[in-house]
Structure 1
Amino acid sequence: MRTWGGEQVEQAVAGAVALLRTATDRDWDGAGAGRLDWSCRRTAEHIASDLLAYAGQLAGRAQGAYVPFEITLDEGTGNADVLDVIETTGALLAAAVRTTPPGVRAFHPYPFRSANREGFAAMGVTEVLLHTHDIAEGLGLTYEPPTELCEDVLARLFPHVQPGSAPWPTLLWATGRGDLSGRPPVTEWRWSNPPAVPAGRLTLEGVTPAAARDLHAGGDGGFLWVEDGPYESTRDAAGMTVKAYEAGVNRPEWGMFVLVRQEDGRAVGGMGFHGVPDEEGRAEVGYDLAVSARGHGYATEALRALSAWALARGDARMLIASVDRHNVPSQRVVSRAGFVAVREDEEEISYELRP
């Protein structure tokens, strides 16, 4: 999977600044920015502020809260100067993204209290795209960012939104900035960075639709795998995530996770749910490991951690797992993780875990 982040931040900033430089002689303070309550000038300053904040969070490895600083522009700063600041803060974010290791996460509140380097890049790109749209509306300019950028941020920050055939109108609709045929208006919204669940020697990294699409197509999904990974069923599970995303029913907390070994950052397997809990509160879990990673207790550690995390959310009242009768190692994994056998037939044994 191609490295995503710094280049896309620079691309978004360059396109926004190029358009807005054509209107620096206008009254940005007196013009409202689209549907926002802010002026165009205030919105431009907000872009720069967010880019710097994201760079600071990521570079400083902030944990638990925002780093307590903000940007202040000098008195007398003109519209063109604000665009210089946006270019500068965009470059800072791009640099922070490029120099941050893939496993590092820093604080961001929505919705799982952290984001990785790709997440901060995607948030920065989204801020630039959306608020350039707001300013352009206020100044009477025409703005349409590259389709691929819009598609990328949807597949990274909006895993719950059905993508549709037109990424830019879909992104505007998903953020309350436009209408989309056949879909109700959006009045409240938040993006969604993928979750990360600590599991002893592992971290369970949530898989975005973008990563799932690459995995299903034979790529690495942005993960550094052990030599014989990913296993075939991991790619199959990624395909299920892609289908759920395209149908608009994907929920990252009930989706797919990749098991990343903390000692060397290598991915050793996949684990996750077959979908959201059903009407009875049951959610089915599945997993696999690369052959070289088996026999080390990784699956048990991961299943214990993911089960505890999922049941603590309150969405599910029971987790279930189906294991082939002849797969004794997998039966041992679910049993050690606390699951209890409740039914069996000639092919499978069904297990349950309750809070």
Structure 2
Amino acid sequence: MMKRIILTGAAFALLVFQLACSKKQGATAPPDNPPPVQQPEPYPGLPLALTNEAVKKIEIYDPMVTDWNTAAAKKWSWSPTTALGFSADEINRFGGGTDFKVRKGYAVMSDNSMAAVMTYPAGQRVWAKIISGNVHSAELLPNGNIALAASDGNWIRVYASSQGPNNSNYGEFALGAAHAVLWDPELNVLWVTGQDQSNNTHILTALAVGGSDAMPELTELKQYRVALPTPWGHEVSAYYGNKNLLWVTTNGGEYVFNKSTKTLSMSPTNNLTFVKGIGNQPGGQIVLVRPDANKNPRPPVSCSLNNWSTSTIDFYTAGGQRQGSRTVNGACFYKIKIVYDNYQ
């Protein structure tokens, strides 16, 4: 499930095992020194979608509700069912999701070994496929096709989902440890993170989607390629309020990418490690998820199912000052998305 780098020495082998980009625990972080716990306050903003592996559902919560363990907080939940048009095999493969995005009456999701396009909010199956390769991210293109990133498959693909509920045609771009896909309607490119397999450089780059709706093709636009400051690229998400910027995370840090200058600068949120999902409300507030296993000290209420998820969502001001959090008892949240059907 993870990319491994073979280094001499048992101690270095253990360190690399911990840092490999995957749904695995990273190296122990220094103490986070969080601010004193304050009374939770309502946060105005759009709903937040989270992939919850503990209950194998995608869930949407209201940040205005201060206690996320109440029925009032959870506004929507989804998992594939036969009533929604999914097959028994597709249902069995679903483990809670690795990504979820809402796009103009539809939504896309990925999971380790499947992906789907569905109507939103009804959740009816539009297209779905069982796919090996540890699928980590999904995006719905304007023409109805779905883009996917597979970390073990080492590819970015665009499937012709617009051509029927079971269509299997796809275009592919080889990319090691591929983890993220995000469509940019201004530049008409697909932003992706991964690793150049020819030289092992960890990169953020952009792909042009060509061909036809029925037979898509992917070509890298190398003028947009940049090396990531730290290894194992993970998340790429929209920076709402500034179309020239993107959020980018790696195992080693979190960054803001400037499309015009092709530069990556440190995120205002203290350059946290192992951030699995990050985004901002249109008003500027930053929200993110970071595995409980990488927090020091580990929170008393935390995900006990695995070492790559968390029970807590963290909130920061646009300037990076920590505001507070929401915790769901027993939850194992892996990815977070702002429920906003605009691409940027």
TM-score range, shorter chain: under 0.3
Relative to total residues, which structure has the larger helix share, 1 or 2?
Answer: 1
Higher fraction of strand:
2
* Length-normalised TM-score, structure 2: 0.24
Choose 1 or 2 for highest CA Rg. 1
Structure showing greater relative contact order (alpha-carbon pairs closer than 8 Å, 6 or more residues apart): 2
TM-score, length of structure 1 as denominator length: 0.23
